[in-house]
Amino acid sequence: MSIHKKRIGEIPLSVLDLAPVVEGGTASDSFKNTLDLAQHAEKWGYNRYWLAEHHNMPGIASSATSVVIGYVAGGTTKIRVGSGGIMLPNHAPLVIAEQFGTLESMYPGRIDLGLGRAPGTDQVTAHALRREISMSGDEFPQQLDELRTYLNPKLAEVNMKVRAIPGEGLNIPIWLLGSSGFSARLAGRLGLPFAFASHFSPENTLPALELYRNTFTPSEILDEPYAMVGVNVVTADTDEEAVWLATSLQQQFLNLIRGNPTKLKPPVESMEGIWSPYEKSVIDQQLRTTIMGSPETVKEKLQGFLDETQADEMIINGQIYDHQARLRSFELLSSVLKEK
């Protein structure tokens, strides 16, 4: 039996937004840009628009993720809006059930709940968020079970004394997110869709996807595995311009590994003299699947990545300093991927 080779243009494409705060800009500017990009993404045919929970990061404004999701959903009409993801160990499952129950009640059929088990920050900030120093990602499966039970009490082994209202009985798609094999295995066992963070953990991409597919058990939610991969993409009219724009992303990762996260910086002509040879090698490895170039270059490289991963969907992160250049990147990408 022949296997259909997936082609770029045939799979859905989505947007991952970290609501970047740029050097010289404010969080208020970031949210206006986020809504503007979401409205354009909807017009250009992107499938979903996800926002990520990070804390204590000067360059990321989406820490109150549920609030920003409501803002984006309220300013759009049909694109799916969700979390990529909510870091569940930072929250009581009941609170997330109520928040997303509220969002789904306001914007029926448009809300996704992507869940991660990492803190999305450093340990000191995690303690400030959770108030419980003992909390770690190890409790994630139990927290997930509790959250799913609030949304669907039929999963409970005993009568529920606490109910999520709104939330209970609503069909809110739950995705598990991961950068290693832990959530891949759990998503497979539970028959849930899985999204992998290839945009910052490229070396684990193929092993995690294989683990997810090999452990997948059909469920009421999915008959077969559904895997989405995250990828950094910078598209511009020329390869040279895209490489230049991508230096903002490289600077962001450089400052992160130096333990000094900053606002998103303007692009530079060259990273030489900014990073050491060792730092360059670390960032090159971490951003190995980052794709930058003209539309033709990006299409070719994305097809190669799709051939490798056989993903069912791709979610694109575009950390670009200038908002108009960011819009242009997603516009060029959307037009290329619509070509058959």
Crossing angle for the helix pair 93-106 and 65-74, to the nearest 10 degrees: 10
Kindly state the tokens that stand for 224.
């077969």
Q: 3-state class of 51 per DSSP?
A: strand
Kindly state the tokens that stand for 326.
């960011």
Q: 3-state class of 37 per DSSP?
A: helix
Output DSSP code: residue 139. Answer: G
| pLDDT tens-digit series, residues 40-91 | 999 999 999 999 999 999 999 999 999 999 999 999 999 999 999 999 999 9
How much is the pLDDT for 1? 36
**86 - beta bridge partners?**
115
Query: Cβ(51)–Cβ(10) under 8 Å?
Result: no
How much is the pLDDT for 339? 65
**For residue 54, what is the domain's CATH number?**
3.20.20.30
Give dist(CA 271, CA 20) in Å, integer: 21
Residue 32: CA count within 13 A, CB half-sphere:
8
Whole domain around residue 244: which residue ranges?
A: 13-337
Q: What angle do CA 311, 213, 90 make, to 5 degrees?
A: 85
* Cβ atoms within 10 Å of 238's Cβ, excluding its own: 12
Which residues of the chain fall short of a pLDDT of 50? Answer: 1-2
How much is the pLDDT for 139? 86
Q: Structural domain tally of the chain?
A: 1
Q: Is residue 83 left, alpha or beta, with left meaning phi > 0 and alpha meaning psi from -120 to 50?
A: beta
pTM: 0.94
- The answer to whether the peptide bond before residue 166 is cis (omega within 30 degrees of 0) is yes
How much is the pLDDT for 126? 66
Sign, CA dihedral 200-206-209-215, equals negative
> 255-284: buried (b, 16+ CB within 10 Å) or exposed (e) per residue?
bbeeeebbbbbebeeebeeebeeebeeebe
With respect to residue 1, please indicate whether it lies within any of the assigned structural domains: no
How much is the pLDDT for 2? 40
With respect to residue 189, please indicate whether it lies within any of the assigned structural domains: yes
Give dist(CA 77, CA 219) in Å, integer: 30
Give dist(CA 212, CA 226) in Å, integer: 9
Using CA atoms, how far residue 67 sits from 37, 41, 51, 103, 311, in Å, is: 17, 19, 10, 9, 30
How much is the pLDDT for 176? 97
Which amino acid is located at 93 in the chain? P
